[in-house]
Structure 1
């Protein structure tokens, strides 16, 4: 099973090297990394090209934002399975792709996901939040649940049949796509109860009050588009994050709420 990992980059010289190293360290033999760079003005290109790895493919050109870049990468992917790795993120251990291949090996599920750690930007070993995703059931969508997007791997056919990211959503295209895949396409997902990705805090969606407001509006548009509710779902989605700050087991299973 070949696994394609797509990475969207722009002026990412500070962190992209560590992200790529975490990909190259994966013990799964059949893998590729597709780096889509938005014509960076810093040393991003030279860092990527410096790895000189046949497992890395690099494209640099102007794009219309992160989701446009991810769509380009998905279109180029040659793997049976496609996942993401942002330039700020790290695979949590060397066997992440192997665990994904194992979860999808039976052919009975369309994708797999796991848990996520939010870590300090300058010290990835320092965990700030822990997102224990829990097992998926469709009823959870109305309680604001979603799988951690950076940990989600899908069979390539999902994108071909059910579409990529809707770039009219500037911040929440991942949430809209996940709702589309889980409601309209009714995908079956396997849960891997392990931390798959460490994500540095300070992402695009939370860098200012204006972006937080825009994200909430886009989340609500996605919720209404896919018929899972309204403002109550949005409130539940945001409230579910609070437990992630308290302890490693702080994220309560929504089935119990």
Structure 2
């Protein structure tokens, strides 16, 4: 597949996809990565020994994917750590199965922000089901790994992702660790991803609040209030807010 080399396409970027038993999502992600117009990239896929059609999908695309590793793992962050070791790029971006780029020029748009003194490029993301655009907020560290491009060597300084039973915020812990590095915002959304998943579980929020208290980004009182109010917020978001946005979008299209 012929790709267009953008003016600022000098950094080597490793796009990583980790997956297990999501052949449909994996197919979508592979297509999205392969259609990117950024040339200097490596594509790494780590499959946790899927038992569905995922292995067949990877076999059919083996000539277009730079590195494929298929073996059992002990969770998503274990797989992501394996991918870090396999990546040869100066920069990393995790676009896991089911996640896709906003458009074919998304990676080029984010890479255009890379300068010698920049450590992290971050951008907005779109929720697939509702079409709602979430604005990234560095002050609140409201970022999502599908829309974060960062230097691989940060792992040499701050360690890899935490692997542990029930831990669902290892990427957020890593971002907390590097929050004082040089971040730059890219105006165009970088990814489209699902709203549901591990990050939608209450336990994810509890871990996140605890981490923010440990890192001094939130007081204990503030954390307690959020945990008290969270059930009502969750109900309103799911039953009223996102359905209302979807309704408004349908009316605008009609």
**Would you say 1:111 and 2:101 are equivalent positions?**
no
Q: What is the deviation of 1:61?
A: 1.0
Q: What is the deviation of 1:72?
A: 0.8
Contact conserved, 1:181 with 1:187, CA < 8 A, in 2?
yes
Look up the match of 1:251: none
Look up the match of 2:199: 205
TM-score (norm 1): 0.79
Look up the match of 2:135: 132
Relative to structure 1, the CA distance from residue 233 to residue 109 in structure 2 (aligned partners, 3 Å threshold; closer, same or farther) is farther
Contact conserved, 1:109 with 1:188, CA < 8 A, in 2?
yes
Look up the match of 1:179: 176
Contact conserved, 1:220 with 1:231, CA < 8 A, in 2?
no
**Would you say 1:192 and 2:179 are equivalent positions?**
no
- After superposition, the C-alpha distances for 1:145-198 in whole angstroms (9 at most, x for unaligned) are 42222100101111111112111362111211111111xxx2111101111100
Look up the match of 1:224: 213
Contact conserved, 2:46 with 2:68, CA < 8 A, in 1?
yes
Q: Name whichever of 84-93 and 195-204 sits farther off.
A: 195-204
CA distance in 2, matches of 1:198, 1:216: 21
Look up the match of 1:97: 107
Relative to structure 1, the CA distance from residue 30 to residue 233 in structure 2 (aligned partners, 3 Å threshold; closer, same or farther) is farther
**Would you say 1:163 and 2:166 are equivalent positions?**
no
Relative to structure 1, the CA distance from residue 188 to residue 84 in structure 2 (aligned partners, 3 Å threshold; closer, same or farther) is same
Instruction: Show structure 1 runs of 5+ residues with no match.
Output: 121-126, 207-211, 249-257
Moved over 6 A (4+): 238-241
Instruction: Show structure 2 runs of 5+ residues with no match.
Output: 1-10, 247-254
Of the two, which has the highest radius of gyration?
Answer: 2
CA distance in 2, matches of 1:117, 1:231: 32
Look up the match of 2:3: none
What is the SS of the residue equivalent to 2:184?
strand
- After superposition, the C-alpha distances for 1:19-75 in whole angstroms (9 at most, x for unaligned) are 101000011111111111111001111101211334431101111100111111011
CA distance in 1, matches of 2:160, 2:46: 15
TM-score (norm 2): 0.80
Aligned residues: 226
Contact conserved, 2:77 with 2:161, CA < 8 A, in 1?
yes
Q: What is the deviation of 1:83?
A: 0.5
What is the SS of the residue equivalent to 2:208?
helix
CA distance in 2, matches of 1:231, 1:44: 46
RMSD of aligned residue pairs (Cα, Å): 2.6
Contact conserved, 1:130 with 1:247, CA < 8 A, in 2?
no
CA distance in 2, matches of 1:75, 1:41: 24
